[in-house]
Amino acid sequence: MGPKQVEKKPQGELFRSGLENMISLDHELVKLSRLIDWDVFDEEWGKLFKSNRGAPAIPTRLIAGLHYLKHIYKLSDEEVVERWVENPYWQYFCGEEWFRHDFPLHPSSLSRWRKRIGKSGCERLFQQTIDVAMRSEALPQRELRKVIVDTTVQEKNITFPTDAKLLDTARRRLVKLANEHDLNLRQNYNWVSKRLLRQISGYAHAKQFKRMRAALKKLNTRVGRVVRDIERQLEGGDEQIREAFVHDLILARRVLNQKRSGKNKLYSLHAPEVECISKGKAHKRYEFGVKASFATTHRSGFVVGALHCPSNPYDGHTLQSQLEQVDKLTGVMPSRCFADKGYRDPVHSFVYLPFSSFIRSRSTDLRTQS
């Protein structure tokens, strides 16, 4: 069933005081809540629920409000839900009329909602921040004509990737799936893998790399045995069981076959999209994540575009997509764009835009204007 509709004018209660009587109406979150058009989320996200059966979903204003608070105060899903119970201003911002002493939802519901709304839903959240800034005159429309574009690396929450940890993680995930689907493995190597991991870390710390490589080869052999054992048992078996193993088997094969100096390496099993990117920083030579492009206004520095760029493309090839997103979110196509030398055309000293005049790309402009 679709999201639960919040009553506009709830009936008063005798033994409870409304949130409006507990808070200051001049608070920044109260003013911001009145500028945001919350009905937009009902119209857009309500279409994602096709069935009319079952209990109603969580109100869209609560979901949108929690995501705004999460990014404003830089919190995790668990932290924003815990602090929401303690803060009456946060509850009012999310559409509550009475102070609540219980959790509004489980933190995992936020991640499920993000998967449901997808990229277009996240862009809708972003677009509302731009609309609010324009309605409150914090972002004049004339500033949208000049933007600064740059790329960075959106780092993922992963540990430093090593082949030993990836191999053991792939083995443990396959063993867990085999137990869930009643597959009898010849051997799961739980005890052996734990001992080999400890040996590999000890040899690496002592700089005994020959012994370390020998232990790593043994671990690779054990993981390969588990993979082949599962593949033999899945041949000619149930189609649904095979589909449950496809993703993890592909990842395990990638870890087994990848080389230290090879390309398209797998650095994380829970985030296969992670790449090793070098941005030329002196303090951090390599970063593990996904390249992201951002566009800000030239004068006030207001963010008007954010785009993820998988496969680590050349910066100049992301410029057109970034400016098209700015046009989609703001309704204004920038006439001038400032960028560093990473966007420079390989042949010429300026950046070509098929829908605008060319713009000279100088790193000094980016440092002095931003």
- For residues 280 and 245, membership in a common domain is answered with no
- For residues 68 and 119, membership in a common domain is answered with yes
- For residues 85 and 120, membership in a common domain is answered with yes
148 burial via Cβ count (<10 Å: 0-12, 13-18, 19+) = buried
Q: Up-side HSE of residue 318: CA atoms within 13 Å toward CB?
A: 23
- For residues 211 and 288, membership in a common domain is answered with no
- For residues 105 and 183, membership in a common domain is answered with no
Q: Are strands 287-297 and 146-155 parallel, antiparallel or unpaired?
A: antiparallel
Of 257, 283, 310, the one marking the end of a domain is 257
Residues 6+ apart with CB under 8 A from 77: 70, 107, 108, 110, 111
Cα(41)–Cα(66) distance, rounded to whole angstroms?
13
- For residues 38 and 124, membership in a common domain is answered with yes
The boundaries of the domain holding residue 316 are: 275-369
Asked if residue 147 is part of any domain, the answer here is no
Of 222, 257, 292, the one marking the end of a domain is 257
Whether the per-residue pLDDT at 217 is higher than 80: the answer is yes
Asked if residue 214 is part of any domain, the answer here is yes
Asked if residue 202 is part of any domain, the answer here is yes
Asked if residue 155 is part of any domain, the answer here is no
Whether the per-residue pLDDT at 7 is higher than 80: the answer is no
Of 2-11, 225-234, 272-281, the range with the lowest mean pLDDT is 2-11
Cα(197)–Cα(180) distance, rounded to whole angstroms?
25
- For residues 234 and 311, membership in a common domain is answered with no
- Percentage, residues of the chain above pLDDT 90: 61
pLDDT confidence bin for 264, thresholds 50/70/90: confident
- For residues 305 and 357, membership in a common domain is answered with yes
Task: Reduce the DSSP state of residue 141 to 3 states and report it.
Answer: helix
Q: Which residue is listed with tokens 């960028």?
A: 339
Of 231, 257, 283, the one marking the end of a domain is 257
323: closest CA among 140, 153, 152, 144? Answer: 144
Of 20-24, 49-53, 151-155, the range with the lowest mean pLDDT is 49-53
What's residue 53's pLDDT? 75
What's residue 51's pLDDT? 67
Asked if residue 151 is part of any domain, the answer here is no
Cα(278)–Cα(276) distance, rounded to whole angstroms?
7
Domain count, the chain: 3
- For residues 96 and 177, membership in a common domain is answered with no
Asked if residue 265 is part of any domain, the answer here is no
Asked if residue 156 is part of any domain, the answer here is no
pTM over 0.85: no
- For residues 170 and 108, membership in a common domain is answered with no
pLDDT tens digits for 162-215?
A: 889 999 999 999 999 999 999 999 999 999 999 999 999 999 999 999 999 999
Q: Which residue is listed with tokens 């679709």?
A: 2
pLDDT tens digits for 114-143?
A: 999 998 999 999 999 999 999 988 899 899
Whether the per-residue pLDDT at 106 is higher than 90: the answer is yes
Q: Which residue has the higher pLDDT, 369 or 290?
A: 290
Cα(97)–Cα(352) distance, rounded to whole angstroms?
53
- For residues 51 and 104, membership in a common domain is answered with yes
- For residues 284 and 229, membership in a common domain is answered with no
Asked if residue 267 is part of any domain, the answer here is no
